[in-house]
Every structure is written in structure tokens, then in C-alpha cells.
Amino acid sequence: MGLISGTTYLGAANRCPIGVALGHFDSGPCCSDKKPDQNGFGIGLNKDYPPRQGFTEARAMAVAQTKHEWCRLVSLVTTNYGQAGVDLLFSKWVGDSTAANSACSQT
């Protein structure tokens, strides 16, 4: 189980299959054959570049979805592994425990 919002091209460090990768920065092997859109942008994600049409809406939806998936993951870990599992998840993935905890309590 993992949470993935996109990829960047980092050479061998990027393990996302090219066929499903959508680069954030319109570069790398996924994008060399893509044509720019009507605004001159390549295939990157709208949420990653403010001049893109729909940036504000796309970014808000991405933030909301990331929050939803985080809370879903915490719930699944709680159900399957209890507080010990949640503690491990937080120790490995979370920099700000207060923010991470409050994100799910606000839903």
C-alpha cells in the first residue's frame, strides 16, 4: 500500500513504469513525444504549475484527496495493527504528528 501523487524524472531512481508515469515537470522519457496543450504546456499536472488553467481547483482537489487517502491509511492501519501500527506509521512517515493527527479528526 502506498500513496503516490505523481513522479519526477530522476533517472534510475524513478521506479514508476513509464507507461503510467505522468511527470510533474513535462520532462523525462514519459514526455518526449507529447505535444503541448493549447497554452503551450506539455503533459505535466495542473496542480504543479500556477499558470496552468485550473491550477487552483486542481491543487485544492489534490490536497483534499491526499488528506482523504492519509486518513484512510491511518484507519486501515488502526484496524489491522492497532495503535502500535499507527505509532510505527507516524514514526516513519510523519514530520508533524499534531498536523497529521488533526487532519483526520477534522473530517
User: How many domains, the chain?
Assistant: 2
Asked if 58 and 40 sit in the same domain, the reply is no
Does residue 34 carry a pLDDT above 90? no
- Select, from the ranges 23-32, 41-50, 77-86, 90-99, the one with the highest average predicted confidence (pLDDT): 77-86
Helix, strand, coil in percent for the chain, rounding step 5: 55, 0, 45
Asked if 62 and 46 sit in the same domain, the reply is no
Asked if 36 and 59 sit in the same domain, the reply is no
pTM of the model: 0.62
Question: Strand pairing partners for 7?
Answer: 23
**Burial zone of 24 (CB within 10 Å; 0-12 exposed, 13-18 middle, 19+ buried):** middle
Q: Give the cell for residue 73.
A: 491509511
For residue 95, give the DSSP letter: S
Domain residues for the domain of 24 are 1-52
